[in-house]
Amino acid sequence: MASRTVLVPPARVQRWLENFASRHGRTDLRVGDGRLVVSGQDGAVATLARPFGRRYDGPAEAPAFAEMARAPYDWGLLLVRKGGFAVATVHGTGLRSSKVGQRHVQGRTKAGGQSQQRFARRRDNQARQAYEAAAEHAHRLLVAEASSLSALVCGGDRQAVEQVLADRRLSGVAALRVDPWLAVPDPRRAVLEQAVVDGSSVSVTVTEDVEGPVLSGPTSSPR
């Protein structure tokens, strides 16, 4: 059995479950540990978690889960890589405020000796300046709204994000971090917009036999 995790926007959850049933046969739904658990006839299991670490304690029904999953919340988004950053406050899937910035950080060099040391120091200084800029904008946009934010979703380079959130002014915001971690390239506007969609999506973990036979015959949509 192999597991994988995908992010599904709440509006597409019911359709995703219908497709799951068509691949894995008649499905059984239950609620466990604050998640919706869907078991297929062939043994495949999909576990659906609401966005922002919210528990689900409603009925074992796809429409009810999808409805609760799309409930709008105010949340923050922080994406950082050495090549740039993006900070935003979001209501549901709508951007309230945002800032995208790019910073030049030199790549690695094959030079050796003192030249390599000087290059490494210059590169570290450039990276530190990039993180400081990201922290300034995170403070300006996120801290002012911290009392109303339900969660903080982060992504990019983990070490870079940790460097930014190490700023003492961001300690309250850092405490709001939740999954998922978003693996993104250097943040640009389009990357930020996709991260808003992914950050507010349902996290679905699928465990299935990747070499198992595909069931044929009648199937049913989730109840």
pLDDT digits 0-9 by tens, 176-212: 999 999 999 999 999 999 999 999 999 999 999 866 5
Are residues 117 and 34 part of one domain?
A: no
Q: What is the pLDDT of residue 209?
A: 83
Task: State the burial class of residue 96 (Cβ atoms within 10 Å of its Cβ: 0-12, 13-18, 19+).
Answer: middle
Are residues 120 and 194 part of one domain?
A: yes
Are residues 157 and 82 part of one domain?
A: yes
Are residues 153 and 80 part of one domain?
A: yes
Are residues 153 and 90 part of one domain?
A: yes
Are residues 189 and 101 part of one domain?
A: yes
Q: Is 219 a member of any domain?
A: no
Q: Walk along the chain (223 residues) and give the pLDDT tens digit of each residue.
A: 899 999 999 999 999 999 999 999 999 999 999 999 999 999 999 999 999 999 999 999 999 999 999 989 999 999 999 878 999 999 999 999 999 998 655 555 455 555 566 555 665 666 778 899 999 999 999 998 989 999 999 999 999 999 999 999 999 999 999 999 999 999 999 999 999 999 999 999 999 986 654 443 333 333 3
Are residues 157 and 135 part of one domain?
A: yes
Question: What's the rounded Cα separation, in Å, for the pair 156 and 164?
Answer: 12
Are residues 188 and 83 part of one domain?
A: yes
The parent domain of residue 31 ranges over: 2-71+202-208
Are residues 168 and 58 part of one domain?
A: no
Question: What's the rounded Cα separation, in Å, for the pair 83 and 122?
Answer: 15
Are residues 174 and 99 part of one domain?
A: yes
State if pTM tops 0.75. Answer: yes
Domain count, the chain: 2
Q: Is 216 a member of any domain?
A: no
Q: Is 215 a member of any domain?
A: no
Strands (E), 146-201: 151-156, 177-182
Q: What is the pLDDT of residue 215?
A: 42
Are residues 175 and 113 part of one domain?
A: yes
Q: Is 218 a member of any domain?
A: no
Are residues 16 and 100 part of one domain?
A: no
Q: String of b and e for 58-70 (b: at least 16 CB within 10 Å)?
A: eebebeebbebbb
Written as six digits, the tokens of 123 are 């590169």
Q: Is 133 a member of any domain?
A: yes
